[in-house]
């Protein structure tokens, strides 16, 4: 029987989305003593989330350079004579991906004249079942696009405005936000990561550990349940980063508060809201918002590789998704993520004017994030000068994923893998992403 926490505080945690080197690390500029290290070869929380975005941007630039170096037809026009070669290149990219550390990889490319789905490797480390194109996976921060869509649906209904202070929507937030900033920390500030609210995952997890330097213990406590009170306490324990609106920092904690706001306003759980307002209208038949450990059915089972630190390989089958909540708990497939981004950008989930607002970046040229709007970021279209692709990436403790779409949803790419390598930057996903992007040109 699945564990349920049916109160207005069902959404309990932020998406950690990284294995921190210093679980209790203070934010930049804060006066704090040195935090206990979890493992010398593992990335810090903020470094990890930034590294994935930077790697995605690098993949887009590499695809742009390769596309500009060749002579071909207009972007998106894949002719019959080219299809076999393109498919061969895509299949080879997946084979190359799992030739390294990753255990299994799935991918999907849609463009005029090309509809390709692929997979390689295994669903689970040490098992024989091969990965298949329809396999599910944890989408991690791709969830933020869906939460943002739910928030904007409420804005359209008049429940809130983007400049509504979060303390008006979530009274509990008053214990987290400094008094002088209560009117400035708005829903928009949380959606765009411009509130100054620090990410709280490191202290949250460290609080469960007796020895913060023990990697085995770190992976073990990821299987524990994380209630709302613990997350609010972890947010409150950290110094505020900056005056709202003056800077940007990636904060999963902000999306936890947005999840609480949705439940407070609607009286429904985030799970129910996603099912009713996102999954069903977008025809996402294999998507879910789990609140208990275990991935059932054909899934890429999560695992992590830490090299010489700890045991090397760790299974994450015990992971409790209350450690992610509204910032990243959704599970899905490449097909469902494609259906979601299509439904979003074409106006099936919110009004066209709202789509434009969501896709318009509030942060441009940052070293921390790609050009970021309301839960969605944009990247230069490698196939068309001056055009953009829209989407998000996600990193759970054992998976990477990315989904991108053109504004008309005619060209889409989604890639996901399990078997995260913590010994290097998150480049494994890029082995498959670059050819996938090129295939749409």
Please give the structure tokens belonging to residue 109.
Answer: 């490319």
Does residue 40 belong to any structural domain of this protein?
no
Burial of 127: CB neighbours in 10 Å, binned 0-12, 13-18, 19+? exposed
- Is 24 part of a structural domain of the chain? no
Residue 331 · residue 137 · CB < 8 Å: yes
According to the model, what pLDDT value does residue 247 have?
A: 96
Has residue 21 been placed in a domain? Answer: no
In a domain, 128, yes or no: yes
Helix axes 143-157, 252-266, angle to 10 degrees: 40
Residue 410, pLDDT score = 96
Length of the chain counted residue by residue: 441
Sign, CA torsion 124/125/126/132 = positive
Specify if 330 maps to a domain.
yes
Containing 152, the helix (H) or strand (E) segment is helix 143-157
**Number of independent structural domains in the chain:** 1
Q: What's the CA gap between 106 and 335, in Å, rounded?
A: 10
C-alpha span between 60 and 52 (Å, rounded): 12
Q: Which residues contact 305 (CB under 8 A, 6 or more apart)?
A: 101, 312, 313, 314, 419, 420, 421, 422, 423
Task: Judge whether 227 and 5 are in contact, CB under 8 Å.
Answer: yes
Percent of the chain with pLDDT over 70: 85
pLDDT digit string (tens) for 327-374?
999 999 999 999 999 999 999 999 999 999 999 999 999 988 999 999
Per the CB < 8 A criterion, the answer to whether 39 and 423 are in contact is no
Does position 173 have pLDDT exceeding 70, yes or no?
yes
Residue 326 lies in a domain: yes
How would you write 57-108 as a 3-class SS string? HHHHHHHHHHHHCCCCCCCCCCCHHHHHHHHHHHHHHHHHHHCCCCCEEEEE
List, for residues 283-325, the tens digit of each pLDDT value: 999 999 999 999 888 999 999 999 998 999 999 999 999 988 8
Give the C-alpha distances (Å, rounded to integers) separating 4 from 82, 142, 312, 361: 51, 23, 33, 36
Q: CATH code at 70?
A: 3.40.710.10
Q: What is the mean pLDDT of the chain?
A: 86
Residue 429 CB partners (closer than 8 Å, separation 6+): 52, 55, 56, 59, 97, 400, 401, 402, 415, 417
Q: Which residue range is the domain that position 261 belongs to? A: 45-438
In a domain, 225, yes or no: yes
Whether residue 40 is predicted with pLDDT greater than 80 in this model: the reply is no
Residue 9 has pLDDT above 50, yes or no: no
* Average pLDDT of span 108-124: 96
Whole-angstrom Cα Rg for the chain: 20
pLDDT digits (tens, 9 = 90+) for 90-102: 999 999 999 999 9
- Dump pLDDT digits (tens) for 55-70: 888 888 888 889 888 7
Distances (CA, A) of 170 to 5, 174, 264, 288: 18, 8, 7, 25
pLDDT > 60? residue 177: yes
pLDDT at residue 12 tops 70: no
In whole angstroms, give the CA distance from residue 295 to residue 302: 9
Q: Are 252 and 14 a contacting pair, CB within 8 Å?
A: yes
pLDDT 10s digits, 208-261: 999 988 999 999 999 999 998 888 988 998 899 999 999 999 999 999 999 999
Long-range interactions of 32-37: CB distance < 8 A, separation 24+: 32/239, 35/202, 35/206, 35/212, 36/206, 36/212, 36/213, 37/212, 37/213
Q: What is the pLDDT of residues 233-243, one digit of tens each?
A: 889 988 999 99
> What would the mean pLDDT of 120-147 be, rounded to a whole number?
96
Structure tokens at 373: 């709007």
Question: How far is the C-alpha of 52 from the C-alpha of 36, rounded, in Å?
Answer: 24
User: Is 160 among the domain residues?
Assistant: yes
- Using N-to-C axis directions, what is the helix angle for 352-359 and 334-345, rounded to 10°? 110
C-alpha–C-alpha distance, residues 322 and 12, integer Å: 6
């Amino acid at each position: 029987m699945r564990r349920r926490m049916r109160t207005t505080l069902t959404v309990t945690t932020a998406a950690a989305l990284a294995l921190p080197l210093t679980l209790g690390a203070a934010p930049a500029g804060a006066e704090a003593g040195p935090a206990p290290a979890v493992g010398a070869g593992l990335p810090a929380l903020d470094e990890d989330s930034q590294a994935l975005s930077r790697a995605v941007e690098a993949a887009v630039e590499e695809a742009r350079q390769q596309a500009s170096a060749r002579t071909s037809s207009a972007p998106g026009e894949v002719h019959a004579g080219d299809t076999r070669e393109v498919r061969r290149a895509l299949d080879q990219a997946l084979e190359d991906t799992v030739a390294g550390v990753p255990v299994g990889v799935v991918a999907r490319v849609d463009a005029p004249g090309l509809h390709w789905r692929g997979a390689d490797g295994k669903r689970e480390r040490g098992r024989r079942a091969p990965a298949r194109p329809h396999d599910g996976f944890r989408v991690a921060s791709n969830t933020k696009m869906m939460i943002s869509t739910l928030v904007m649906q409420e804005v359209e209904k008049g429940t809130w405005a983007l400049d509504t202070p979060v303390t008006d929507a979530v009274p509990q937030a008053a214990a987290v936000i400094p008094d002088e900033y209560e009117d400035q920390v708005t829903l928009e500030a949380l959606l765009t990561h411009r509130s100054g609210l620090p990410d709280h995952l490191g202290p949250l997890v460290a609080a469960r550990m007796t020895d913060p330097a023990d990697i085995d213990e770190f992976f073990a406590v990821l299987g524990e349940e994380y209630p709302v009170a613990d997350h609010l306490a972890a947010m409150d324990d950290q110094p505020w980063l900056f005056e709202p609106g003056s800077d940007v920092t990636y904060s999963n904690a902000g999306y936890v508060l947005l999840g609480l706001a949705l439940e407070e306003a609607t009286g429904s759980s985030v799970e129910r809201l996603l099912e009713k307002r996102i999954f069903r209208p977008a025809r996402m038949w294999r998507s879910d918002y789990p609140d208990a450990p275990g991935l059932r059915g054909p899934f890429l089972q999560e695992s992590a590789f830490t090299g010489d630190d700890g045991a090397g390989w760790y299974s994450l089958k015990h992971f409790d998704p209350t450690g992610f909540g509204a910032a990243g708990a959704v599970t899905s497939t490449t097909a469902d993520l494609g259906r979601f981004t299509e439904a979003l950008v074409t106006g099936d989930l919110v009004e066209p004017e709202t789509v434009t607002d969501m896709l318009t970046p509030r942060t441009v040229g940052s070293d921390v994030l790609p050009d970021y709007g309301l839960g969605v970021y944009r990247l230069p279209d490698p196939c068309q000068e001056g055009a953009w692709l829209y989407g998000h990436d996600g990193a759970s403790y054992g998976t990477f994923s990315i989904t991108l779409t053109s504004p008309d949803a005619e060209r889409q790419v989604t890639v996901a893998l399990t078997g995260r390598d913590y010994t290097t930057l998150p480049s494994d996903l890029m082995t498959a992403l670059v050819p996938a992007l090129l295939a749409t040109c």
